[in-house]
Structure 1
Amino acid sequence: MSPAWLERAALHYLERYSASTEMLRRTLARRVQKRARARGEDPALFTDLVTTTVARAVSAGLVDDARFADTRLATLRRRGTSSRGVSAKLAAKGVPRDVVEAAMLAERDALPDGEAEAIEDQAARAYAKRRRLGPYRRPDQRAAHRDRDLAALARAGFAYDLARRVVDLEPDDMV
């Protein structure tokens, strides 16, 4: 296993996917482990090689946790993910907590003062629309499924007050 092979594997992965530093490290470690086992070698011997390859990708600008967090945050918000959900998903991808907090702060700062509080509201409405909850449910089923819809929004990480407001919206108020 050579540094050139590992670098090609990293470039191939980064051509296909946007990744955090930790995601790239995990992927390369998994590839090294698979190849080392096939060749009867010890994967621990290549740990430094993986670290060096990841460091080169970071220094070349191919991997940037802040850029990854910003783009992933925007994608998750459009899908209707709550702030808690965004934090959890980015943490699972290996993005450091301070980078996640900086991305969320930048998101709030980019909006005018009155709209910063509406981020979570817009995400909750998008989630409800995607899952057909509350006002997006058929009118004859809304009352019977109200508690279920509240629970779905709570599991998605939205506060009870916000979930109640979204579920109790009238179809005319959904702008």
Structure 2
Amino acid sequence: MSDKAKTRRRAPRKATPDYLERAALFYLERYASSSSSLRRVLLRKVARSAEAHGTDPAEGAAAVESLITRLQERGLVNDAAFAESRARALRRRGASAAGVRARLATKGITGDLAQQALAAVAQETPGDEELAAAIAFARRRRLGPWRAPEQRAERRQRDLAALGRQGFPGTLARRVIDAEDPEALEQQLAETRED
């Protein structure tokens, strides 16, 4: 097979309602998605179809909206569940509340829905959620007390900046980075969970 044949792209399929439904179901099998993200994927297919086959983009967009409504009614697309699941995963990895809101916004989740998701996650684990997330981020990136002792002083500003870029307030960043050792932070976190 020649190089030209290998690099040739297959022409996009015609964006019929049946094709869009199959594409949406295939996408949802592979990825958790918000309605906004799914809409974006399907509208790209509609645009490619319009360009290649001359189909009507407005008709395709109407088919996408109808399909998303049906998928929401069936429970296959649920923005609240998606937001809660995503917020839980991001918090576990060390994202601040502001960082979670920003990442959910890129997926088309409204501020109210993001706040509800954060509240639901906070109810699952008692204690200071921001402190727990900051500790998780610092541990994962080996910042502050997880850094080699001889490097801590010279890397302090960088470590503080890393937490700041993640959306953590300065006081919390200093509290985590300036901690004597990881056990002291874990003890502080345990105390907030007891309250």
Q: TM-score range by the shorter chain?
A: over 0.9
Identical positions, percent: 50
What's the counterpart of residue 97 of structure 1? Answer: 111
Offset, 1:174: 4.4
Match of 1:38 among 38, 52, 65: 52
Verify the 8 A CA contact 2:17 2:63 in the aligned structure 1: yes
What's the counterpart of residue 173 of structure 1? Answer: 184
SS in 1 for 2:136: helix
Offset, 1:45: 3.0
SS in 2 for 1:169: coil
What is the distance in 2 between the residues matched to 1:169 and 1:70? 31
Verify the 8 A CA contact 1:150 1:167 in the aligned structure 2: yes
What's the counterpart of residue 12 of structure 2? Answer: none
What is the distance in 2 between the residues matched to 1:102 and 1:8? 32
What's the counterpart of residue 134 of structure 1? Answer: 144
What is the distance in 2 between the residues matched to 1:79 and 1:42? 43
Match of 1:143 among 133, 153, 157: 153
Offset, 1:104: 1.4
One-letter code aligned to 1:168: D
CA RMSD after TM alignment: 1.3
SS in 1 for 2:154: coil
Verify the 8 A CA contact 1:37 1:43 in the aligned structure 2: no
Query: Gaps (5+ residues) in structure 1?
Result: none
Verify the 8 A CA contact 2:176 2:185 in the aligned structure 1: no
Q: Deviations over 1:29-56 (max 9, x none)?
A: 0111122212133423311011001111
Q: Deviations over 1:109-141 (max 9, x none)?
A: 3344xx1xx111010011111111111111110
Q: TM-score, normalised by structure 2?
A: 0.83
What is the distance in 1 between the residues matched to 2:125 and 2:55? 53
SS in 2 for 1:62: coil
Larger Rg over CA atoms: 2
Match of 1:72 among 86, 90, 96: 86
Q: Which has the higher contact order (CA 8 A, sep 6+)?
A: 1
What's the counterpart of residue 26 of structure 1? Answer: 40
Q: TM-score, normalised by structure 1?
A: 0.92
What is the distance in 2 between the residues matched to 1:3 and 1:150? 51
Q: How many residues align?
A: 171
